[in-house]
């Protein structure tokens, strides 16, 4: 009698598991916007509730009370670099976007994002970045059934961020410092390869057993630009050994070991000691 009972239990468990896999559509589907503004990437993740014949602002969403700006989880906005959001400087990072809708204006609040539970921000002691913006009505005869967020009026220096629902719209200007980023990039590229670039090239040539003279030239250039690191001198010593210059290789190994001792890197101290012992025999 025990086997049929066990079998029935397994069947019921399997049926319960299968039922748990059934997916149904969300009443407030999630949405994700990815927009590049100048050289800055902005991502917004939120849920889209619908009007469904209800009174929204002043009803479902009470005036002058904190709102998650959507449904389900806290709305999340991410900036890949520093921006000016509604006139307020915002550092690179991810933020929870909460709002306080009013009849004439909205207050937007940005909290460092650390939870999907929007009430944790509302009740926290953290002071958010706040932006106030005017409420506008959508053009006559226009109505947004589902909450929508979007970017428009894109230029290399900024864009407008919109939140629209029912017959209401707010706009937040986003400004980016594209010129400073481009100027920095120009200086870097026009200034030529960095010390790390020269070391990477020399190290690659050594590891691939290509032109050792060229590899040594690049590593020396890296060192002359201030890249005096124990691993750089270690690579230089190995290249010099490949070129048959064991005296030069030992000088570089001694320098590498000196720097490794300062950095308390036992592995490089050991490797240099072993190489010096081997090269002195030669």
- Tokens for 282? 């030669």
Distance of CA 223 to the CA centre of its chain: 32
pLDDT of amino acid 17: 52
Domain ranges across the chain: 25-179, 188-281
Q: Please tell me the predicted confidence (pLDDT) of residue 14.
A: 54
Q: How far is CA 32 from CA 26, 77, 78, 92, 259, in A?
A: 15, 10, 11, 19, 50
The whole-number pLDDT of residue 25 equals: 81
CATH architecture of 188-281: Alpha Horseshoe (1.25)
Q: What is the pLDDT of residue 268?
A: 96
Q: Would the pTM count as exceeding 0.75?
A: no
Under-70 pLDDT residues of the chain: 1-20, 282
Token code pair at residue 19: 């039922």
Residues 6+ apart with CB under 8 A from 210: 204
């Amino acid at each position: 009698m025990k086997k049929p009972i066990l079998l029935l239990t397994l069947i019921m468990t399997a049926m319960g598991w299968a039922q748990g896999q059934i997916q149904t559509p969300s009443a407030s589907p999630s949405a994700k916007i990815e927009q590049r503004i100048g050289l800055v990437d902005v991502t917004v993740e939120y849920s889209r509730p619908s009007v469904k014949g209800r009174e929204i602002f002043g009803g479902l969403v009470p005036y002058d009370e904190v709102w998650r700006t959507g449904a389900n989880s806290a709305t999340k906005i991410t900036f890949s670099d520093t921006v000016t959001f509604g006139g307020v400087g915002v550092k690179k990072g991810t933020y929870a976007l909460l709002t306080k809708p009013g009849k004439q204006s909205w207050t937007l609040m940005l909290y460092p994002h650390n939870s999907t539970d929007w009430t944790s921000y509302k009740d926290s002691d953290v002071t958010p970045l706040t932006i106030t913006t005017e409420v506008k009505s959508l053009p006559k005869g226009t109505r947004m059934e589902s909450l929508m967020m979007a970017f428009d009026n894109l230029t290399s220096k900024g864009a407008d961020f919109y939140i629209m629902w029912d017959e209401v719209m707010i706009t937040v200007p986003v400004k980016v410092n594209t010129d400073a980023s481009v100027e920095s990039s120009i200086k870097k590229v026009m200034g030529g390869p960095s010390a790390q670039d020269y070391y990477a090239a020399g190290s690659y040539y050594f590891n691939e057993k290509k032109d050792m003279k060229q590899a040594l030239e690049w590593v020396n250039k890296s060192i002359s630009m201030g890249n005096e690191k124990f691993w750089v001198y270690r690579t230089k010593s190995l290249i010099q050994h490949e070129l048959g210059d064991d005296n030069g290789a030992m000088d570089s190994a001694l320098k590498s070991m000196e720097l490794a001792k300062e950095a308390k890197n036992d592995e490089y101290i050991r490797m240099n000691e072993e190489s010096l012992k081997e090269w002195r025999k030669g």
